[in-house]
A and B are shown apart, each in its own frame.
Chain A
Amino acid sequence: MNNALPLVIAIPMITAVISLLGRHRPGMQKGVGLAGSLALLSTSIAILAGVLLEGILSVQIGNWPAPYGITLVADVLSSLLTLVAAVVVLLVSIASWTEIDPDRVAFGYHPLLHILTMGICGSFLTGDVFNLYVWFEVMLISSFVLLGFGGERAQLEGTTKYVTLNLLSSTLFLAGIGVLYGTFGTLNMADLALQLRGPTHAHLAETLATLFLLAFGIKAAVFPLFFWLPASYHTPPVPVSAVFAGLLTKVGIYALVRFFTLIFSGDAAVMHRIILVLAAFTMVVGILGALPQRDFRRIVSFNLISHIGTLLVGLGIFTPLALAGTVFYLMHDIVTKTCLFLFTSIVQRLGGCADIGKLGGLYRSHPFMALLFLLAALSVGGIPPLSGFWGKLILVQAGIAEKEYWLVAAVFGAGFLTLYSMSTLWSEVFWKDRPEAIGDPECECVGRTFLPLSLVTPIGILVFLIVVMGIWPSPFFHLAELAARQLSDPQMYIQKILQGKP
C-alpha cells in the first residue's frame, strides 16, 4: 500500500503529459482527463483505506532513508484531502467539457488542470518542507497560467495581483526554509518535529512559526493577507475558479494545520492565540466584504474567505475536538465552495451575466436548479441538517469547552451574516423577477435555457455529497476524529517516518 503514494503524483502528471500530446484532439482530452481523474480517485480511495487499516503510510522516494531523502506520508488528514481533491478534480474536469472554450482547450487547459492537481496532491502528501515548497510552486505556476489563460482584460488584472501577492508568499516561504535549515539542519517534517520537541534549539521557534504562518496565511487567504483572492477568483472561466476555490486555499489551510500540529505545537500558545485572533477577523471581515458585492462569484469569494477563518478556529483552539471540527469543516467547505462556484456557470448560462442585479426569475424557470442551489447555500449558511452545520457545531462545542466565548460569538456573527449573504443571492438570482429594462450592452443577459448534463451532473453530485454529509454525518465525523487524533498526537507520525532512529 505504501507504494501507492507516488502514484497520486504520477497519475496526474502522466495524465497531463498524454493530454498535452493530444491537445488538438478535444475528444481524446476528455477521455484522458476522465480516465486520469478516475484513476486518481481510485488510488486515493485505496490510500485512505490503507491508512484506515494500517495506520500512517509513508514511502521514501528513491529509498533514501528518512531525513536524507524525500518522504511521502499519508495520514488520515492527507489521504482524506487527497480523496476530496480527486473528487473535485474529477467533477471539475467533467464540467470543463462544455464550460471551457475550444481555444483554451487547444492551448492546454486540461494538462494544466492536471498539473495543478499534481501540485495539490504533492503538497498534501509530502513530508519534506522544501519539497512542499516545490509542489506549492508547481501549483502556483499552473494556477497563474490557468488564471491568465485566455487573456481577457479582467483575467489579466486579477492575475497581476494574484501573482504578486503569491510570489511574496513564496519569498516568505523560502525565507522560512532558510531559517529552518539554518537552525535545525534538516528539512524533514518529522525530524523537525522531533528536534523542536528536544531540549536544544527551541531558539527561533516563534520566529519560524511566524514566517510560516505568514507564508501559508497568504496562500490560505487569511486576514489581512487575503486581498489577492477577491481580486482574481471571479475573473477566469468558471471551472478554473471552482477548482481554485475548492482546493487552492485549502492547501494553505492544510499546510497551516500540518505545521502547527506537527512542528510548532510544543509550546506555541502565543501562536495559537494569534491564529485565533486572525481567524476571528478573517471570518468577520470576509463576510462583511460579501455584503456590498454584486457579482455572483465575488460574493462567493468573500464567503470563501470568511470560512477560511472558520477553518482556522479549530486550529487555534487546538483540542482534538476542535481539530476534528476543522477537518470536518474542511471537507464540507471544499465540496460546497466548488459547488457554488460551478453554479456561476449555470447562472451565467441562464441569465447571461453574473451581476445579481440583472439576474432573476430562475426559481420559476428552473425549480430543480433552484433546489440544488438552495441546498448548497443553506449548507454554507450553516443551516442543519446540512454539512456546514455539523462542522460549525463541533467548532462551537470545542470553543465553548475551552471558554473562548468571544470566538464563539464571532463564529455565530459570521454565520448569521453568511446566512444573510446567501439569502441575498437566493432572493436576487432566483426569487426576483428578471429586471426588464437592461441597458447594458456588455451584459446582454440573454439567457439560454439549455443546461448541459456535464455541468448539471457534477453540481448534482456535489449537492448530493452536501446532503449526505448533513443527514448522515457520523462516518465523516469518524474520519475527522481519526484525523484529529493523529494530528494531536504527532508521536505516531514521527515514529513512523523516522522509525526510531533520529
Chain B
Amino acid sequence: MIVAVVVGFVLGLLAPLVVRVARNGTGWITGLVPIGLFAYFASFLNRIQAGETLFFPYPWLSPLGIGLSFRLDGLSLLFALLITGIGTFVCLYSAGYLAGHPDLGKFYGALFAFMASMLGLVLSDNLVALFVFWELTSVTSYLLIGFDSEREAARRAALQALLVTGAGGLALLAAFVLMQQAAGSFEIAILVERSPDLRTSPLYAAIIFLVLTGAATKSAQFPFHFWLPNAMEAPTPVSTYLHAATMVKGGVYLLARLSPVLGGTDLWRDWLIPLGTVTMLTGAWLSLVQVDLKRILAHTTVGALGACVLLIGMGTQGSLQACMVFLLAHGLYKGSLFLVAGIVDHETGTRNAADLGRLGRAMPLTCIGALLAALSSAGVYPFLGFLGKELLYESTLVGFTPVLLAPCAVAAGIAFAGMGAVVGVRPFFSAQGRFSGQPHDPSPGMWVGPVLLGMVGLLFGLFHGPLHSALITPAVRSCILQAGDIPTPSWHGLDVKLALSALSLLMGGALYWKWSALRGRLCRWRNVGRYGPAAGYDHALCLLEAFARRQTRFFQSGRLNVYLIIVICTAVALLACALVRDNISFSDLVLQRWADVKTYEAVIAAILLTATVVTVRAQSMLVAVVALGVVGYCVAVVYLLFSAPDVAMTQFAIETLSVILLMVVLLRLPRLRTFSTSRQRLRDALVAVSAGLITTLLVLVVTTQARNPKLADFYARNSLVLAKGRNVVNVILVDFRGFDTLGEITVLAVAAIGVYSLVKLGSHRDRIPEGPPFGGEARGDDVSP
C-alpha cells in the first residue's frame, strides 16, 4: 500500500526524464501510472464489498503516536478510484493540451506528486499523516495553479489558493492536536471508538469549528469559496483534476471521514447545514453571471461542494448515500465538462461562452462527450446525475426543515442544469459563433477523456444496482457507526422528488434558452462581489502589508540610538520588575560593614566621576580622550586601593595603550559634534540615569550578601601547594583557569587581524579624500526625534 502512495512522488521526480524520452507518447506512457493504480485499487473491490476494512500500518514517529497507517474502506476506495480513474484521463489529456510546452516535465512531476498526495490523503488513518498529505495537496495545487508562472494573475491566484488553504490547514492541525488531546490518539480507527469522549469534551466546539474551517477552505465553502474560481488560472487539466474532481473534494472527504468521530450532534448539524446551503446557493448564483466557461464550471463546482457538505451535515444514512452518489456523479460530469471546455479553448482560442457556437459539426466526438456530461449535470434520466439529484432532493425533503432546504436545493439544481448546458451544449449548437481558426476534434488522447467519462456516467446511471453494492454502500458504511441496510434507490413512481426533478429540469432548460438575455441583466449584480469575501481577502492582505511596514519601520528604524533606547528600557524595566519580585526592600540595604570611607577614597571617586562628566560634556576630542584616560587611571587606583595590584597594573597599562590608540587614530578630530537637540539629550539622560540607578541598586544589594567563600579558600590553600605560585591571581589565570586565558589571547589575536584588515583590506576603494575632517558647518541641525 505504501508503494502505491509513494510511487507517485518517485515518478514525479522522474517525470521530466520520461517526458524528454517519450516525446509524443508522453500521454500514453504517463497514463499507465494512474491506470495501474486504478487496477490495483479495483482489485480490492470484492473485499471491500464484503464489508472488510483493510489496515496497512507503517511506523513513522511512534513516540508521538504518529504512523503512516493506511486504511482502505468503502470511502477511501471510492475516492481512490475516482482519483486514479480521472487521473488517467488527465494524464492522457495533458500531453495533447500542453504539447510542446517547455515545462511539460515539471508539470507531470507536480501532477504525479499531487496524485500521490491525494491518494495518501484519502487512505490515511492517522490524523497527522492525513494532515501531511493534506498540506502536500495544497502545495502541489499551488505549483500547478502557478504553472504559467510568467503571468502575474496566475501567480496571484496560486498565492491566494495557498494562503486560503494554508490557513485552513493550520486550523485543521490545531483541531487534530486538540482531538488527540481530548481522546488520546491520532488514529481515526481509535477515535471512532472514543467518539463519546470527544463529543463530551469541553474542546468539542473548538474542534468542530477548526475542522470545519479546514474543510471549508479546501472545499471552497462560503466564505472561502473565492479562491476556486480564481484558481482557474491553472491549465485546464489541472482545473479538471484538482479543482473539480478530486482535491476540492478533500474537505468533503474529511467531513465524511470524521462524521463517525465528531458528527451526529446538534452542533455538527447546526454548523454544516447552513454552511453547505449558503455555499450551494452562492455557487449556483455566481455561476449565472459568468461567461468564461471555466469560471462557470468553477462556480457550479462550489455549489455542488456546498450540496455535499449539506448532505454530510444532515448525517442520515439517506443523506450520506445521496452525498456519495452526487459526489461521484459530479466528479464524472464535471471532469468531462472541464476537459471539453479545455478542448474548446484549445481549438478556438476563447472560453467566452457568449462567443461560442456551431462547433458540433466541427468536433463531433468532443460534442458527444459534452452532451453526455451536460445531460448528467442536468439530471436527465437515466444518467447518474439524475440519481444524484433525486437523492439530494429526497434528503432535503425528509430531513430537517424541508420547507427551507428543498427550495434551495431545487434552485441549485436549476443552475446546475442550465449552466451545465451553457457549457456542454451551447458551444456546439448555438447559432452564432465568433472565434477564429478552424476548430476540429483534437488528438485521441484529449477527446477520449470526456467521452469515456460521459459514458461512465451513463452506464452507472443505467446499472446503478451493482454500483451501489460495490461502491456506494461500503462508502456510506464507513461514514456511519451503526449502518442499517442501505437500500438501492429504486423507482418510486410519481412523487414529490420526481416533480422537483422535473421542475428543475424545466427551469434549467428555460435558463439555458434565456441565458443570453438574462445574463445582461444579471451582470449588473456582479458589483456585489466588491463587498464579498474576495474583496475581504484583498483588504486583509493590504492591511497586513501596511501594518507590517509600519511596525517594521518603527522597530527596525535604522537608527542605532533608537535601538539602544529600546534595549536599555527593556533591560531597566525587566530588571526593576525582577528586583521587586526578589523582594528587595531598602531594609536589605542596611549597611553591614560600617567602615569609614577614607578621604583619599572619596577623593578618587570624586575625581573619577568628575572626569566622567568631563568626558561626557567634552567638546574637543583631546579633552574627551584625556578625561577618559583619567577615568581609566582612577579605576586603576581603585583596584590598587582595594587589594588588586595586578589588576591595577594591567589597567594602567591597558589604559595607556587605549589612550595612545585613541590619540593616534582619532587625533585629527578637532572637536566633537553635537547632533541632537536638548530634548533628545534629556530623554537619553533619563534613560541612562535610570539604568545607572538600577546598577547602583544591584551593587548595593549584592554587597550586603554573605557569599560562600569556598573558591577563594581553595585557591588560598592550594595555590602554592598544588600550582607552585605565590601570586594567587596569577596562579588562577595561568593554571586554575588557564583555559580562560587561552580564549583571552585568542581574542587579542583576532582583534589584531581585524585591525589589520580594517586598515588594509579594501580601504583603497572609494575612500573619501582626507580633507579637514569633521569640520565645516554642523550638519546635524536638521534633527528630528
Q: Which residues of A contact B (CB under 8 A)?
A: 13, 61-62, 64, 67-70, 103-104, 107-108, 111-112, 115, 118-119, 122, 130-131, 134-135, 137-138, 141-142, 144-145, 148-153, 160-161, 164-165, 168, 172, 175, 178-179, 181-187, 195, 201, 203-207, 209-211, 213-214, 218, 224-225, 227-228, 230-231, 270, 274, 285, 288-289, 291-293, 302, 363-364, 367, 378, 383-385, 389-390, 393-394, 396-397, 400-401, 408, 412, 415-416, 419-420, 423-424, 427, 430-433, 473-474, 477-478, 481
Contacts and interface: CB of A to CB of B under 8 A. Distances in A.
B173 A179 contact: no
B582 A141 contact: no
B747 A138 contact: yes
A471 B660 CA distance: 60
Contacts of A130: 737, 740
B4 interface: no
Interface in B694-727: 695, 698, 701-703, 705, 707-712, 714-715, 718
Question: Which of B128, B582, B718 is packed against the most chain A CB atoms within 10 Å?
Answer: B582
Contact of A427 (B102, B146, B579): B146
B564 A164 contact: yes
B642 interface: no
A415 B758 CA distance: 40
Interface residues of B, number: 101
A230 B556 contact: yes
A185 B709 CA distance: 6
Contacts of B571: 172, 214
A297 B560 CA distance: 20
Q: Which of B709, B715, B738, B749 has the most CB of A within 10 A?
A: B749
B566 A227 contact: yes
A183 B702 contact: yes
A402 to B, nearest CB: 10
Contacts of A274: 574
A225 B567 CA distance: 6
Contacts of B491: none
A473 B60 contact: yes
Given A204-B702, A364-B103, A474 B575 contact: no
Interface in B101-131: 102-103, 106, 128, 131
Nearest to B541: A420
Contact of A393 (B62, B128, B705, B743): B128
B781 interface: no
Contacts of A182: 702-703, 705, 707
Given A288-B548, A431-B155, A416 B167 contact: yes
A122 B740 CA distance: 11
B383 to A, nearest CB: 40
A400 B132 CA distance: 19
Interface in B160-214: 162-163, 166-167, 170-171, 173-174, 177-178, 180-181
A228 B710 contact: no
A197 to B, nearest CB: 14
B528 to A, nearest CB: 28
Contacts of B103: 364
A104 to B, nearest CB: 7
B711 A288 contact: no
Given A68-B715, A231-B558, A183 B705 contact: yes
Interface string B559-589: 0100110111011001101110110100000
B739 interface: yes
Contact of B750 (A141, A165, A168): A141
Contacts of B552: 288-289, 291-293, 302
Interface stretch (B422-430, B481-489, B760-768): B760-768
Interface string B6-33: 0000000000100000000000000000
A204 B563 CA distance: 28
Nearest to B751: A141
Nearest to A204: B582
A209 B578 contact: yes
A185 B545 CA distance: 52
Given A131-B743, A165-B563, A396-B173, A103 B709 contact: no
A205 B582 contact: yes
Contacts of A168: 564, 567-568
Nearest to B171: A412
A61 B736 CA distance: 8
B180 A397 contact: yes
Contacts of B436: none
B149 A384 contact: no
Contacts of B578: 206-207, 209-210
B693 to A, nearest CB: 14
A394 to B, nearest CB: 7
B747 A141 contact: yes
Interface in B344-397: none
Contacts of A187: 711
Given A68-B714, A151-B762, 5 more contacts: A151-B763, A186-B710, A393-B128, A416-B167, A474-B62
Contacts of B762: 103, 150-152
25 contacts: A13-B746, A70-B737, A131-B739, A131-B740, A137-B747, A145-B754, A148-B754, A150-B757, A164-B560, A185-B707, A185-B710, A224-B555, A224-B566, A224-B567, A227-B556, A228-B563, A231-B556, A231-B563, A288-B547, A384-B132, A385-B132, A412-B170, A412-B174, A432-B150, A474-B59
B337 interface: no
Which 4 residue pairs of A and B lie closest in terms of their CB atoms, listed nearest first? A145-B754, A431-B149, A134-B743, A227-B563
Interface string B211-243: 000000000000000000000000000000000
A172 B698 CA distance: 12
B739 A70 contact: yes
A212 to B, nearest CB: 11
Contacts of B766: 153
A178 B705 CA distance: 13
B783 interface: no
A107 to B, nearest CB: 5
Contacts of A385: 132, 136
Contacts of B416: none
